[in-house]
Amino acid sequence: MSTHTLSLLEAVREGLADEMERDPRVVLLGEDIGRLGGVFRATDGLLDRFGAERVIDTPMAENAIAGIAMGLAMRGLRPVAEIQFADFMHAAMDHIVGEAAKLRYRTAGDWTAPMVVRTAYGGGFRGGPYHSQSVEAFYSHVPGLKVMAPSFPDDAKGMLTAAIRDPDPVVFLEHKRTYRAITGPVPDGEHVVADGRLRVARPGDALTIVGWGMMLHEALAAADELAGDGIEAEVLDLRWLLPIDREGLLESLGRTGRLLVVHEDTLTMGLGAELCALAAEAGVLQAPPARVAMPDAGGIPVADAMEDAMLPNRHQVVEAARRLVSSPGNGEVRPGGPGRGSWFDAAIPEASSVIEVRLPEVHLELVMAAVAEACRAVPQSNATFTWEAIRLHDQLSVDLDLGPLSPARGGGTFTLVDYGLGGSLLGLPAVRPGQTAALRVGAVRDGRAYVALAVDHRAVDGADAGRFLATLKRCLEE
């Protein structure tokens, strides 16, 4: 296949021109897209080529732009509306989210809205808080929309062509830093990318890094650095943010078992959270997933140094990847649901109970004897949980974790944490993998101590925990 080299911006322009040439129903509308050629020059030259009836300069009114585009789409045209900056799409949200996305469903398919809303998103070009937002999470939440975010020129043209031909509304996100910074080959002639699949931008087997837009290129740069350390990261270009290519994501995680998501949007409720949830629910991970994202701040700063500090970058991706790869694994990966080999084995669902015990002072021998008696009364507390069965232990072996000055002993069947004068008044111990219970005895104050029991509630229920603590209390007080 013969190709030619374009920047991502040039690929967008070529995609628009080719579809306008092919289909007379395609019209463009937006602020300054005609005489100026768009604020980023994505539509430069199209007014002269196709005329003012098909390249329409509009007032600065995003709500009107989206509403007119929807009306044109309902009357049989194929409008492509440009919103200069993604920050301004909020003014058009009612038409996009409340109307266009729901039109097919509210009319039982009698009406559709085949419209594309193009916009430039993302920071890094000193635009401040009103010209730098990443809005993908808002629109990826909306059934009835498709949301696309190309990272390479060939996808910019091929996916935009598919978006214009789509029978339903599409939000097409173009990261402004990729416009001129990213160049690459684009197939000659008609080029359509409509499969809805993510793109494996770099193969690997140590972990999966997912990104889109400019963050995809930061992820690729990070993967190159990691390769120098012998860590081969698989980098996925998500491309289609809605619907998500769930199968492609899980296929990659089946090879790597570890997930790192990188996005420029803020962390909380960003699209990365959904990707992590998909992976966790499928039970394909060997370690908890990780995210690199912008902090939860009200906006990107105007000051250059502060903007640079806020935006995620390749160095943060490298650090997060190294932490993820070095986290302990849990055996083989088993796609399809939680089971042995998934990270659910390490993420123990705990429940805790705290009681007060009359105790003049703490003696290790006394506490150990009381623990032994309580474990005999409640055998499930001296056990190991597996997905096949709860295995009770014939003998009790207590791991002592007495604080930072006394290294914890491993390999036991029960853990006793931080007892005596070094203990806290209230504190919850952590149940270790391979065990079902842990006990913490706080410091004695005025003849009393607080005792906290943490259990794996898959093996030890509330009644069992109550019986354990009642037995322990009786032994210590008597």
pLDDT at 199 over 90: yes
- The CATH number that applies at residue 163 is 3.40.50.970
Total domains, the chain: 3
Whether 216 and 337 share a structural domain: yes
- What DSSP character marks residue 35? S
Q: Tell me the CATH number at 331.
A: 3.40.50.920
Is position 193 within any domain? no
The H helix count followed by the E strand count for the chain is: 15, 21
- Residue 324 in any domain: the answer is yes
What does the alpha-carbon distance between residue 17 and residue 160 come to, in Å, rounded to a whole number? 11
Write down the pLDDT at residue 49: 97
- C-alpha distance from residue 367 to each of 106, 416, 419, 439 (Å): 67, 9, 9, 10
Rounded Cα distance, 68 and 281, in Å = 41
For residue 383, give its domain range. 348-477
Is residue 450, in this structure, part of any structural domain at all? Answer: yes
Q: Are 212 and 241 members of one domain?
A: yes
End residue of a domain, out of 344, 363, 380: 344
Residue ending a domain, choose from 123, 158, 187: 187
For the purposes of burial, counting CB atoms within 10 Å of the CB of 411, is it exposed (0-12), middle (13-18) or buried (19 or more)?
exposed
What's the CA gap between 269 and 278, in Å, rounded? Answer: 14
131 catalytic residue (yes or no): yes
pLDDT of residue 27: 98
pLDDT range class, residue 252, cuts 50, 70, 90: very high
Residue where the block lists tokens 């060997």 = 286
DSSP string, 83-131: EEEGGGGGGGHIIIIIIGGGHHHHTTTS-----EEEEEE--SSS--TTS
Per the domain annotation, does 192 fall within a domain? no
Give the burial string for 328-362 (b: 16+ CB within 10 Å, else e).
eebeebbeeebeebbbbbbebebebeeeebebeeb
Do both 155 and 295 map to the same domain?
no
Predicted local confidence at residue 128, as pLDDT? 86
Q: What would the mean pLDDT of 137-143 be, rounded to a whole number?
A: 96
**What is the C-alpha end-to-end distance of the chain, expressed in Å?**
86
Residue 346's identity, in one-letter code, is A
Mark whether 270 and 381 lie in a shared domain: no
Residue 194 lies in a domain: no
pLDDT at residue 254 greater than cutoff 60:
yes
| 232 shares a domain with 156 | no
pLDDT at 424: 53
CA distances from 365 to 21, 46, 370, 381 (A): 87, 86, 9, 19
CATH number at residue 469: 3.30.559.10
Q: Which of 325, 344, 363 is the last residue of a domain?
A: 344
pLDDT in tens, 215-234: 999 999 999 999 999 999 99
Segment 24-64, tens digit of pLDDT: 999 999 999 999 999 999 999 999 999 999 999 999 999 99
The type of residue at 175 is: H
In this structure, are 232 and 163 located in the same domain? no
Task: Note whether residue 37 is domain-resident.
Answer: yes
- From the candidates 95, 131, 175, 263, give the one annotated as an active-site residue: 131
Q: Confirm whether pTM is higher than 0.75.
A: no
- Structural domain includes residue 382: yes
pLDDT at 478 over 60: yes
Phi, psi of 184 (to 5 degrees): 175, 175
Nearest 5°: phi and psi at 405?
Answer: -85, -5
Highest-scoring range by mean pLDDT, 116-125, 326-335, 342-351? 116-125
Q: Looking at the structure, do residues 337 and 352 belong to the same domain, yes or no?
A: no
Q: Please indicate, yes or no, whether residues 32 and 178 belong to a single structural domain of this protein.
A: yes
Same-domain check for residues 166 and 77: yes
Model pLDDT, residue 426? 59
Tell me, yes or no, whether 96 and 230 share the same domain. no
pLDDT of 329 reads 59
Q: Are residues 176 and 230 in the same domain?
A: no
Give a yes or no: residue 426 inside a domain.
yes
Q: Given a cut of 50, is residue 405 above it in pLDDT? A: no
Residues 409 and 381 in one domain: yes
User: Which of these, 465, 463, 470, lies nearest to 455 by C-alpha position?
Assistant: 465
